[in-house]
Amino acid sequence: EAGVAQSPRYKIIEKRQSVAFWCNPISGHATLYWYQQILGQGPKLLIQFQNNGVVDDSQLPKDRFSAERLKGVDSTLKIQPAKLEDSAVYLCASSLIIDSKELFFGEGSRLTVL
Amino acid sequence: GEDVEQSLFLSVREGDSSVINCTYTDSSSTYLYWYKQEPGAGLQLLTYIFSNMDMKQDQRLTVLLNKKDKHLSLRIADTQTGDSAIYFCAVGIYNQGGKLIFGQGTELSVKP
The tens place of each residue's pLDDT in chain B, 112 residues long, gives: 678 999 999 999 999 999 999 999 877 777 899 999 998 888 999 999 988 889 999 999 999 999 999 999 999 999 999 999 999 999 987 666 678 899 999 999 999 9
**Sign of the dihedral defined by the CA atoms of residues A13, A72, B29, B55, in that order:** negative
- In whole angstroms, give the CA distance from residue A68 to residue A84: 23
- Helices of type H across chain A: none
Q: What is the CA radius of gyration of chain B?
A: 13
Cβ B45 vs Cβ B87: under 8 Å: no
From the list B42, B98, B102, the residue facing A107 with the nearest CB is B42
Strands B18-24 and B29-37: unpaired
CB contact under 8 A, A43 and B92: no
CB contact under 8 A, B99 and A45: yes
Window A:46-85, CB contacts with B under 8 Å = 48, 50, 55-56
From the list A31, A91, A108, the residue facing B98 with the nearest CB is A31
Which residues are paired to A65 by β-bridges?
A79
Residue B17: Cβ within 10 Å count: 12
Tell me the chain A residues in contact with residue B92 when contact means C-beta distances shorter than 8 Å.
Answer: 101
- In whole angstroms, give the CA distance from residue B44 to residue B61: 14
What pLDDT sits at residue B95? 67
Nearest CA-CA partner of A113 in A80, A68, A91: A80
Nearest CA-CA partner of A89 in B97, B47, B105: B105
What pLDDT sits at residue B42? 86
Does any CB of chain A come closer than 8 Å to the CB of residue B103?
yes
| Ranges under pLDDT 50 in chain A | none
A45, A48, A49, A58: best mutation site toward chain B, by most B Cβ within 10 Å?
A: A45
What pLDDT sits at residue A60? 95
B100, B101, B106, B107: best mutation site toward chain A, by most A Cβ within 10 Å?
A: B100
Looking from the CA of B43 toward its CB, the CA atoms found within 13 Å total 29
Nearest CA-CA partner of B46 in B106, B111, B5, B4: B106
- Burial of residue A16 (CB within 10 Å: 0-12, 13-18, 19+) is exposed
